Structure 1
């Protein structure tokens, strides 16, 4: 696919070409330079150009045009607010911007299947996620790569940051680190949203509901195999909670088949081969997410992450009942024959958040 246009001021032609990989891109670059000459062309990568913008930025929310307006940002004004907060500690959200601020944290311990990486390398992925979430919710999402070599280090950092944010979101982070952060934040009043264990798991549950529905299999009688439960966060518990009648965990190294014959569905989080007995497969590996244009067929955290963050920031908690409500609502929003709605479906985040707000949450935290 190519696009071209002409710059009106210079008359130069700009051409955008998508290749199917780096080898093809390198061959194209060599061909252009051989045919046109190095001095006639300038080559760039649009992905690098987009990343160089930073993707998200802060905005100034208060006027500062006059001396009086700037005085409201003075230390004396700050002191007045601080005194008010000392006397009214529950008014932090109404007197500051914390209620709309999200900390998007990662220590790069689970970036695709690349393994642990230096923290800074995950920043482009965090900035992309922040751009999607800001667009969907209007919240201020701050990408924060953190160097943390142990779960305790990341938990300590998240706890230190918690007072300034309405919610903490973990992304590209190994489950061992997620568990430590969850335990550390439990008594801080700042909810934790895990991109894989919460958002992706909810999308997988919704896709499972529709996959069974399309086969006319009642959930209560369904036989489902789950491959890679250790990668799924709350997925195992959520599948049981929606009423899956029989749930078999697949262990690596054994055939992913149901002992009583073909199962109704294999939910695959690891990339196992399709069973030879004909069991249909729902591919949902959290480390190999589908392209955004294919999200009507495969689960993606962006199906639910924006709504979960908005709910967590508003209610200052995220419960298992929130997750179940979001899963059922997401399944209902899919079009005919689809497993899921596209993540670009207008109003998706707002519809899911509204469903969670209408359905009172239980007291059990997720």
Structure 2
């Protein structure tokens, strides 16, 4: 499908932008055009590859280093002064370093959307894209870090080794069992872990569930909800119960809809179930099959809640159940009439959710 044409630099050539459905079609198109036009008459590029090839994030200097005095403040003696202060006041690390604005975005590529497990370096493009979105939404410094770790224990050890340099750790494209190991390992050190699927996607799915029931005119306490693949949902089952759903049936990943004891008002599907024959409403929410960013008003996406959760975690150095529950209600209320969720790029969404997380006067803040 041709989506754009433009004249070349001298007006005699045409530039075509063509969408294809994947690498195989792109390769076939290249072969066909080269056979017809000649290799020297055509350059065929893939926009997604061109963007990825540049790298999607970079570092910036936060301090000047142009004069002798400015460089001296970055020298060994100046560093010794800061280190001595930190040894005397270990709780002041965030005040005298950039740690308070740094997020480690890590993955061992153990559960990459649409691909499953892949080699760790192959997940870097996805981490860089996530870093771009999170940087734009939060202003925080997001560091994408693929980690070669085959087991939950290895990933947890690597995350614990990295944690001292970051205000929070964000897990992405990581299997739930591996994510759980990281959360357990970092809890004693007090480093908050925000799990893209287990926390952020779960918040978005719970908010969509609340609104789906509301549009059906069913109060949560009267609804019969089935959660298919709850082992992939992280904190989702707890959030659904906290939202007032009294009848929640967990459907194992290997079980079919025929195993249910009775009818359901809503099925929350995390595993890709077939369409129910009885017409039961299904909320598609498989974290391995996220919707495109332009289609996030009817299906949950981690970016609905992840920026606000990271902002809260960096300010208070914790992520609590209160945060997740508050984010569910705030996100549900942000949806426009007729939609289950706001679009992830709705203006003010991050601010609305962040404000909701700090609405509890008993909650600590950084100021």
TM interval, shorter chain, is over 0.9
Match of 2:310 in 1: 309
Match of 1:135 in 2: 136
Match of 1:348 in 2: 349
Match of 1:195 in 2: 196
1 CA distance for matches of 2:21 and 2:162? 41
Q: Is the 8 A contact 1:5 1:13 kept in 2?
A: yes
Using the size of structure 1 for normalisation, the TM-score is 0.94
Paired residues in the alignment total 362
Match of 2:284 in 1: 283
Matched, 1:326 2:339: no
Offset of 1:10 from its aligned partner? 8.5
Offset of 1:267 from its aligned partner? 0.1
Match of 1:154 in 2: 155
C-alpha spacing 1:168/1:213, structure 2 compared with 1 (3 Å): same
Offset of 1:32 from its aligned partner? 2.2
Offset of 1:148 from its aligned partner? 0.9
Match of 1:269 in 2: 270
2 CA distance for matches of 1:348 and 1:191? 22
Match of 1:123 in 2: 124
The more displaced of 73-82 and 345-354 is 345-354
Q: Is the 8 A contact 1:319 1:361 kept in 2?
A: no
C-alpha spacing 1:22/1:72, structure 2 compared with 1 (3 Å): same
The more displaced of 30-39 and 20-29 is 20-29
C-alpha spacing 1:100/1:157, structure 2 compared with 1 (3 Å): same
Unaligned runs of 5+ in 1: none
Using the size of structure 2 for normalisation, the TM-score is 0.94
Q: Secondary structure at the match of 1:358?
A: coil
1 CA distance for matches of 2:196 and 2:49? 25
Q: Is the 8 A contact 1:225 1:256 kept in 2?
A: no
C-alpha spacing 1:292/1:257, structure 2 compared with 1 (3 Å): farther
2 CA distance for matches of 1:58 and 1:10? 39
Q: Is the 8 A contact 1:307 1:353 kept in 2?
A: yes
2 CA distance for matches of 1:159 and 1:92? 17
C-alpha spacing 1:97/1:10, structure 2 compared with 1 (3 Å): farther
Offset of 1:257 from its aligned partner? 6.7
1 CA distance for matches of 2:352 and 2:221? 27
> What's the C-alpha RMSD, in Å, of the aligned pairs?
1.8
1 CA distance for matches of 2:274 and 2:167? 42
Matched, 1:177 2:151: no
